[in-house]
Structure 1
Amino acid sequence: MRTSDLVGSAAANTFRSKTRTLLTILAIFIGAFALTLTSGLGTGINAYIDDTVTSIGATDVMTATKPADSAGGVPGSDTGPVEYDPDVVSTGIPGASVVALTPDDLDALADIEGVLEVEPTRSISPDYIEGANGDQFVAGVGTLIPGMTVQLEAGTVPDDDATEFEAVLPLSYVEPMGFDDGESALGESITIALTDAERTTHLIEATVVGVAEEALAGPTGESVLPNEALTDALFEAQTTGLPDDEVERYLQASVWFDPNATDEEITELKDLLAEEGYNGTTVADQLGAFTTIIDGIVLVLNAFAIIALLAASFGIVNTLFMSVQERTREIGLMKAMGMGSGRVFTLFSLEATFIGFLGSAIGVGIAMLVGTAASNALSTTLLSNLPGLTLIAFDPISVTVIVLIVMLIAFLAGTLPAAKAARADPVESLRYE
């Protein structure tokens, strides 16, 4: 019997006992359905995390700070009262004060092995921003470093090479500031007001070149994103009246390293920073715990799906054992006509694999339909405050792997009854009643 005949015969024999086969396929369907949904959940969430990572910062950049405890302790610690240090600056987070970085610190960071470039992060605190309708709103000014991405609702990111003042406006500010929508805000002017050290208010106008969607994390949210020219103008206005040594004081700095650096090399760079009294934090560090939790949840859900598939495999064993029992005379006749044991084994193994294929294909197909519909519904209701999130997304490679895994489980489950059929004695099989 040719291979094509074996495949056709296996497919035809699968539905000799329709009820038993359909129940087995249903059991496989449940496992494949659950495994596909949990895999899609992991794919969707991890894709959103990847987008969030790129919106927080570049993967080849770490944030360097100088912790306050290197200068004598942190207020509220067990070391008792801390002596006042004018260089210690609060980050706005309780217990998270840092020592202000100076040009000497920037030079020290640049001299550390593995550091390619150092750039201070200039903190700008405007009083308010004002739009077309003249209403004034509290907002921050973010920083857009190379490699960082912004999810835009309209327009483009600011051009750092432009001499004109350009900015990206958060989507939540568009209508309150008098613009109909994101597109209508493009090309319009906004005014950023800030007060310098001499208590003089500066009004600086910028052109809106983009409107940013809300994000789970990143430079947007309640912040305007300026280009380099606007950042320089705002910083210069804010520091007017300050002594030179006060102007060049920074909460943190961005440290660039080799984009191809391994995890071990990044850890070594952090250790070198620590030896010099600095903390280095990458984007992966900021979201590390979050991604670990998500991966753990998806792994547990996948484990339940695998258990369901293993339970279904016993159904395949039972189905084929009963099929072998019912077809004993037929097996004897096939072997008496010259079909070898290997061919008999292949025939029943193909039947098991075909059952696995049907159950997995139906399970995967329905899971994709249900998952896509559920994800679309959630994105407009419960998860509408997380733009850009596709909760359940399906990767073609992952879906294909799931089908192949289920077929492999079905094949392995069918080996026992297939081996029994292959070992059957043709004479005794023909005498079977």
Structure 2
Amino acid sequence: MRATDVITSATRNAFRSKLRTTLTVLSLFVGAFTLTLTTALGAGVSDYVTKQVASLSTGDVLLVTPATTTDTTEGPTEYDPDGRQQSSQANPLGGGTLMNDDDLDSIAAIDGVDRVEPIRSISVDWVASSDTSIDTRYELSVNPTSSIGRSDLVAGAQLDQEAEDAQVILPEDYVDALGYEDAGDAIGRTIELGYSGADRSERTTEATVVGVARTSLLASGAGANQALTTEIADAQAVPGQPDAYAVAVAYLTGSGGDGTVTDDDVAGVKVALADADLAGQTVEDQLGVVQTIINGIIGVLSAFAIVALIAASFGIINTLLMSVQERTREIGLMKAMGMSNGRVFGLFSLEAVVIGFLGSALGALAAIGVGSAISSVAAAGPLAALPGLTLLLFDPLSVALVIAAIMLIAFLSGVLPARRAARQHPIESLRYE
């Protein structure tokens, strides 16, 4: 029997018992459907995080905080007037400890650091347009870490941190509210910001809109350059209180000929920071934590699909064992006519592979259809505020790998029944009643 005849015969024999085979295919269908959806979910979220890293990270900055302490000594810590202050609000990266000017000097002295700028949190009460007919005031929050990277812009340019004039990047949803025709129309316009000083007095300042940013899951609020941040932070600083900072930004210089910052440059600065009892993280490091959590959740969901596939594998074993038993005389006749043990083994193994292919292919196709519909509805509804996020991203290679993996599981499940069929003695098989 030629190979093509074996394949044709295996496909036909797989459906001798249509009901039994259909139920087995459906059990594989459930596993393939679930696994394809979870794989697409992971690909969609990973793709979005990757895009955000590319748009938010400049690649040459480190977010520096005091290192988290692991002091296990008993009793309270002795007060050191020259030491670091403790923040009234816990810092998840630095454990509530604040850096001082000595820490900034230590960072600036590290080889590979071009300059260091402390991040000073500011509070803005409202924003209003200065040159449109809209005079309504709107609440506005300023992202304190907008200086460490780039915004995902709809229009305009990034903030110039070395400029002397105040600059802002507006969130996209403020464009219509402030009376601008579109994002491009907002560029170059002047807005008015209202805030409270340290003495609780109401103050205002003006800033130029240099860019309009898309809404992002990983960055929120307006962006402000150093000039604007310094102006408001100085007005909100309490007189006589020593300078203390929760986070500072270290701008790095590259060792390459073109000044590019390499991974080795970043690693070297991190080691030097650790020696100074400080910790440095890149934007990629911080988003990597988010990615790890997401991967963990997707892994748990994928585990349910794998459990379903394991259960389905027992269904394949049962289906083929019953088929071997029902076709004992047929197996004996084939072997008596000269079919080798390998051909018999291949015949029944291919039946398992056919069942695996049908279940996995149908499950994957159904997942693509349902998932694409869900992604379209989500993009137009709950996820409309997150442009660029494809909730379920179906990569052809990933789908093909899911189908191949399930076919492999089906093949392995068919090994035992196929071996039993191949070992049948032709004379004894022909005598089987």
Equivalence for 1:8: 8
- Give the alignment partner of residue 206 of structure 2, picking from 201, 204, 207: 204
What SS is found at the alignment partner of 2:117? Answer: strand
CA–CA distance in structure 2, aligned partners of residues 286 and 97 of structure 1: 18
1:298 aligned onto 2:295: no
For structure 1, the residue ranges without an aligned partner over 5 or more in a row are 71-77
* Structure 1 contact 53–284 (Cα < 8 Å) conserved: yes
Q: How much does 1:348 deviate?
A: 1.2
1:172 aligned onto 2:173: yes
Q: How much does 1:370 deviate?
A: 1.3
* Structure 1 contact 55–217 (Cα < 8 Å) conserved: no
Q: How much does 1:304 deviate?
A: 1.7
CA–CA distance in structure 2, aligned partners of residues 206 and 3 of structure 1: 74
* Structure 2 contact 125–196 (Cα < 8 Å) conserved: yes
**Correspondence list, 1:210-225, <5 A:** 210=212, 212-218=213-219, 220-221=220-221, 223=222, 225=223
**Correspondence list, 1:7-406, <5 A:** 7-53=7-53, 57=57, 61-66=61-66, 79=76, 88=85, 98-99=97-98, 101-102=100-101, 105-112=103-110, 115-121=112-118, 123=120, 128-131=126-129, 132=132, 133-142=134-143, 144-145=146-147, 148-152=149-153, 154-158=154-158, 160=160, 167-186=168-187, 188-192=189-193, 203-210=205-212, 212-218=213-219, 220-221=220-221, 223=222, 225-226=223-224, 231-232=226-227, 235=230, 251-255=246-250, 259-261=262-264, 266=267, 270=270, 272-283=272-283, 286-287=286-287, 290-384=290-384, 386-406=386-406
CA–CA distance in structure 2, aligned partners of residues 167 and 178 of structure 1: 17
Q: How much does 1:236 deviate?
A: 6.0
For structure 2, the residue ranges without an aligned partner over 5 or more in a row are 253-260
Amino acid of the structure 1 residue aligned with 2:171 = P
What SS is found at the alignment partner of 1:323? Answer: helix
Equivalence for 1:73: none
* Structure 1 contact 62–282 (Cα < 8 Å) conserved: yes
Let me know the Cα RMSD of the aligned residues. 4.2
Q: How much does 1:328 deviate?
A: 2.4
CA–CA distance in structure 2, aligned partners of residues 188 and 306 of structure 1: 56
Equivalence for 1:75: none
CA–CA distance in structure 1, aligned partners of residues 303 and 346 of structure 2: 30
* Structure 1 contact 106–118 (Cα < 8 Å) conserved: no
CA–CA distance in structure 2, aligned partners of residues 86 and 423 of structure 1: 81
CA–CA distance in structure 2, aligned partners of residues 294 and 139 of structure 1: 29
Structure 1 residues 183 and 366, CA gap change in structure 2 (3 angstroms): farther
Q: How much does 1:354 deviate?
A: 1.1
CA–CA distance in structure 2, aligned partners of residues 87 and 303 of structure 1: 47
Deviates more, 1:287-296 or 1:341-350: 287-296
CA–CA distance in structure 1, aligned partners of residues 215 and 53 of structure 2: 14
CA–CA distance in structure 2, aligned partners of residues 233 and 100 of structure 1: 22
Amino acid of the structure 1 residue aligned with 2:127 = I
Q: How many residues align?
A: 411
Residue by residue over 1:313-333, the C-alpha shift from the partner in whole angstroms, topping out at 9 and shown as x without a partner, is 111112112222222233223
CA–CA distance in structure 1, aligned partners of residues 299 and 69 of structure 2: 39
Identity, in percent, stands at: 41
* Structure 2 contact 25–358 (Cα < 8 Å) conserved: yes
Structure 1 residues 408 and 29, CA gap change in structure 2 (3 angstroms): same
* Structure 1 contact 273–279 (Cα < 8 Å) conserved: yes
Residue by residue over 1:169-214, the C-alpha shift from the partner in whole angstroms, topping out at 9 and shown as x without a partner, is 112322331235545534544344678899896743414442x222
Residue by residue over 1:192-251, the C-alpha shift from the partner in whole angstroms, topping out at 9 and shown as x without a partner, is 4678899896743414442x2222232x32x2x35x6xx4466468759x9xx9999765
What TM-score do the two structures reach when normalised by structure 1? 0.77
Deviates more, 1:9-18 or 1:47-56: 47-56
Residue by residue over 1:73-120, the C-alpha shift from the partner in whole angstroms, topping out at 9 and shown as x without a partner, is xxxxx7389688898485865896554543x5444214436x444431
Amino acid of the structure 1 residue aligned with 2:206 = I
